[in-house]
């Protein structure tokens, strides 16, 4: 190293120039790519909701979303209603349809509601919005609800399709940074499909949820009345996280489904 690069003033100037150059480079990249990234994320949300509802292009063992060029149309036709519930302290204070919600919230689509923000609002004692997407699966009405929680390393989230008795009719789980090969397997077909047909409510109509259970003697998941699905090896915390977010977030919808029952 030459003497010139060892001096303090050179070091400081170099650091300042470097920070400036790298900073503007990153800022430029981020802001020029932002629209494309936002669009991708928007389409992914639609794909995920449709996936949970059973609208996908799955082949054996694979997870294939409906393709991006078809997703907008499918979302418009297969989702008959987007419902938004405003909830406070476990009570529904307002029920809105898509138009009402968009009119009150700067034309924001209900499916773009940020669940994380809503959870923070609820934590602060404010009211929160709960979106619900109504559609049909094999002639039966199903409702897709978003859920969000914590895994081992980072956030996990998903969408659960429920029929009017709160029986699971499809799920989709995703994660931000679970361990590949272990916790990341919540995104595998064999794990998601295990939830199909599981009940959330007891016979008496009390909310029980689904446990991701180790050592359950039902690896094929034939027993649909046990409120359990088989856990993933080496992914205890992620599995518990999935069970916790199902219990916590889907319970919020209980009053809505009870009202639905009483109406009929």
Partner 1 sequence: MGLLSKKDAKLIIDPLADNNPITIQVLGICSALAITAELKASLVMGIAVLFVLGVGNVVISLMRNIIPSKIRIIVQLIVVASLVIIVDQVLKAYAYELSKTLAVFVGLIITNCIIMGRFEAFALANGPWKSFLDGIGNALGYAVILIIVGFFRELLGSGTLFGIPVLGDPIEKTGLYATGYENNGFMLMPPMALIVVGLLIWVQRSRNKALIED
Quote the least distance from Cβ 6 to partner 1, whole Å: 6
Nearer to partner 1, 103 or 176 (CB): 176
Given 176, 205, 214, 259, the residue binding partner 1 (CB under 8 A): 176
Given 125, 180, 203, 264, the residue binding partner 1 (CB under 8 A): 180
Strand 228-230 and strand 211-213: the pairing is parallel
Nearer to partner 1, 132 or 231 (CB): 231
Quote the least distance from Cβ 213 to partner 1, whole Å: 16
Q: Give burial (CB, 10 Å; 0-12/13-18/19+) of 126.
A: exposed
Nearer to partner 1, 19 or 93 (CB): 19
Quote the least distance from Cβ 65 to partner 1, whole Å: 9
Site for partner 1 in 105-134 (CB under 8 A): none
Nearer to partner 1, 135 or 241 (CB): 241
| Segment (H or E) for 128 | strand 128-137
**Straight-line distance from the first to the last Cα atom of the chain, in angstroms, rounded to the nearest whole number:** 82
Quote the least distance from Cβ 50 to partner 1, whole Å: 16
* Phi-psi region at 132: left, alpha or beta (left = phi > 0; alpha = psi -120 to 50): beta
Given 177, 214, 259, 261, the residue binding partner 1 (CB under 8 A): 177
Q: Using CB under 8 A, which of the segments 163-171, 178-186, 237-245, 255-263 binds partner 1?
A: 178-186
Site for partner 1 in 15-74 (CB under 8 A): 15, 18, 22, 25-26, 29-30, 33, 36-37, 40, 44, 61
Tell me the β-bridge partners of 85.
95, 130
Check: CB of residue 132 under 8 Å from CB of residue 145: yes
* Beta carbons within 8 Å of 128's beta carbon, 6+ residues apart: 86, 87, 88, 118, 119, 121, 122
Given 105, 179, 216, 236, the residue binding partner 1 (CB under 8 A): 179
Nearer to partner 1, 1 or 204 (CB): 1
Check: CB of residue 187 under 8 Å from CB of residue 177: no
Provide DSSP, 140-173.
EEEEEEEEEEE-SSSEEEEEEEE-TT-BEEEEEE
- Which two three-digit tokens encode residue 220? 């094929």
Does 203 engage in binding with partner 1 (CB under 8 A)? no
Quote the least distance from Cβ 25 to partner 1, whole Å: 7
Q: Please report where in the chains the tokens 């009211």 appear, as a residue.
A: 127
Check: CB of residue 209 under 8 Å from CB of residue 243: yes
Site for partner 1 in 207-246 (CB under 8 A): 219-220, 233-234
Q: Where do contacts with partner 1 occur on this chain (CB under 8 A)? A: 1-2, 5-6, 10-11, 14-15, 18, 22, 25-26, 29-30, 33, 36-37, 40, 44, 61, 176-182, 184, 219-220, 233-234
């Amino acid at each position: 190293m030459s003497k010139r690069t060892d001096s303090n003033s050179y070091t400081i100037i170099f650091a300042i120039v470097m920070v400036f150059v790298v900073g503007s480079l990153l800022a430029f990249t981020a802001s020029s790519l932002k629209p494309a990234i936002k669009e991708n994320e928007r389409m992914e949300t639609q794909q995920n909701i449709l996936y949970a509802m059973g609208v996908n292009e799955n082949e054996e063992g694979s997870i294939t979303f409906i393709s991006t060029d078809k997703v907008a149309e499918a979302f418009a036709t297969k989702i008959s209603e987007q419902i938004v519930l405003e909830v406070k302290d476990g009570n529904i204070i307002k029920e809105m349809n898509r138009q009402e919600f968009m009119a009150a919230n700067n034309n924001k689509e209900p499916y773009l509601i940020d669940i994380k923000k809503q959870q923070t609002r609820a934590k602060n004692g404010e009211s929160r919005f709960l979106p619900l997407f109504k559609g049909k699966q094999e002639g039966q009405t199903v409702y897709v609800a978003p859920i969000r929680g914590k895994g081992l390393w980072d956030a996990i989230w998903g969408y659960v399709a429920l029929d009017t008795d709160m029986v699971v009719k499809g799920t989709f789980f995703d994660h931000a940074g679970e361990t590949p090969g272990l916790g990341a397997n919540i995104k595998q077909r064999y794990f998601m499909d295990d939830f199909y047909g599981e009940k959330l409510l007891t016979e008496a109509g009390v909310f029980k949820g689904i446990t991701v259970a180790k050592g359950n003697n039902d690896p094929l998941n034939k027993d649909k009345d046990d409120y359990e699905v088989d856990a993933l090896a080496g992914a205890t915390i992620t599995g518990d996280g999935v069970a916790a977010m199902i219990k916590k977030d889907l319970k919020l919808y209980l009053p809505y489904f009870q009202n639905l029952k009483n109406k009929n």
